[in-house]
Copies of this chain bind each other. A is one copy, B any other.
Amino acid sequence: MTADSDRHAMKMAKKKAARDKIMATKTDEKGLVMINTGKGKGKSSAAFGMIFRCIAHDMKCAVVQFIKGGMSTGERDLILGKFSDTCSFHTMGEGFTWETQDRDRDIEMAQAAWEKAKELIRDESHKMVLLDEINIALRYDYIDVNEVMTFLTEEKPHMTHVVLTGRNAKDELIEIADLVTEMELVKHPFRSGIKAQIGVEY
Contact = CB atoms under 8 A, between A and B. Distances in A.
Interface stretch (A25-33, A112-120, A150-158): A25-33
A27 B99 contact: no
A46 to B, nearest CB: 3
Interface string A172-202: 0010011111111111111011111111101
Interface string A16-43: 1001001101111110101110101111
Interface of A: 1-2, 4-5, 8-9, 12-13, 15-16, 19, 22-23, 25-30, 32, 34-36, 38, 40-50, 52-57, 59, 61, 72, 74-75, 77-78, 82, 97-104, 127-128, 161, 174, 177-190, 192-200, 202
